[in-house]
Amino acid sequence: MRKYVPKGNVQKQSYYTDRYHVVPQVPRLAVEEDEFFAPQLKILKAKVEIKEASIQIGQMIVEVNAKDNFKAIETLKNECGYAMCSEISAVDYLAQDGEFEIFYQMLNLKSAKRMRLVCRIKENEAIESVEPLFNSANFAEREMFDLFGIYVNNHPFLKRIIMPDDWEGHPLLKTYPLIGDEFASWYEVDKIFGKDAREAIGPENRDPARIERYDTKRFSRVGREVPFDADISQGEPETKIEYSQTVLVNYNKSQKQLDKRK
């Protein structure tokens, strides 16, 4: 039997981990002790249910329920002074918890503080768009939809943005294969020439140093030159070509001093 390999996360894994290695955790501080973030958390708490809140590396991280995301962002914008939404994206935790983590990176320009609103959704759930509040979500949510396949409700124009419209799969998922993706490797051939042309065109060469032994269109051997596109599968004759001295001289054995200036 073949060895079972988990399919949930096919990304590169560390080949060796010390069994006594204990992973440290970035310090998490309580929000209540911070004089800037504490009142804001209180405002947010009055509006939506807070699942978790902490401060990591100078930024507040607040987790809310996914259905409250619009309301939370609205509160942050109108009452806490977060005037810019710098970034929206997701993290794939499907293999561990069957969930996506979606984060909204917010910036308060007046006091130069940043916070991150986090929510988690199940695999086939959709999230509400915050595009009516921040137009920057237009592109950011489209990118999230494209690369993770997360549907966004009430987005004005939810369409793939980076990958082609007819692409299969969502590249940033942990299940997306790194090598051996049949669809991806034949995408151009299938689209331009049709599936029947696969055999005639052949797989794409991804090795820039590849030399094909019997291809006389693109390669030739020194001392064994043959006419263009000649068939050499049965061996090639030795060609009598007078080479200049510099091409074939073996500098390791030759006693000749080529450069007279020395």
Partner 1 sequence: MQQPNKLSPFFENLNFEREDNTMVINFGPQHPSAHGQLRLVLELDGEQVVNAYPDIGYLHRGVEKMAENMTYNEFLPTTDRLDYIASTSNNYGYALAVEKLLGIEAPRRAQVIRTMLLEINRIISHLFFIATHALDIGAMSVFLYAFREREFAMDLMEDYCGARLTHSAVRIGGVPLDIPSDWMKNVRAFCDKLDEEIEITYEALLTENRIWKMRLEDVGIVPPEEALSWGCTGPMLRGSGIPYDIRKEEPYELYPELDFDIPVSDTNDSYGRYRIYIEEMKQSTRILRQLIPMYDDTEPQLMAHAPQYISAPKEEIMTQNYALMQHFVLVTQGMRPPKGEVYVATESPKGELGFYIKSEGEPYAYRLKIRAPSFYHTGYLQKMLLGGYIPDVVTMISTTNIVFGEVDR
Residues 155-174 that bind partner 1 (CB under 8 A): 161-164, 171-172
Residue 99 touching partner 1 (CB under 8 A):
no
What distance in Å separates the CA atoms of residue 232 and residue 229, rounded to the nearest whole number? 9
Site size for partner 1 (CB under 8 A): 47
Q: Which residue matches tokens 């080479």?
A: 243
Compute the CA torsion angle 50, 54, 59, 63 (nearest 10 deg): -30
174-193 footprint of partner 1 as x/- string (CB under 8 A) = --x-x---------------
Q: How far is the CB of 41 from partner 1 (least distance, A)?
A: 18
57: left (phi over 0), alpha (psi -120 to 50) or beta: left
Read off the amino acid at residue 260: K
Structure tokens at 81: 């002074």
What distance in Å separates the CA atoms of residue 190 and residue 85, rounded to the nearest whole number? 40
Residue 130 touching partner 1 (CB under 8 A):
no
Q: Which is nearer to partner 1, 74 or 236 (CB)?
A: 74
70 in Cβ contact with 128 (< 8 Å):
yes
Read off the amino acid at residue 7: K
31-70 footprint of partner 1 as x/- string (CB under 8 A) = -------------------------xx-x-x---------
Q: Which residues bind partner 1 (CB under 8 A)?
A: 11-16, 21, 23-26, 28, 56-57, 59, 61, 83-87, 89, 91-92, 103, 105, 107, 109, 112, 114, 116, 134-136, 138-140, 143, 147, 161-164, 171-172, 176, 178
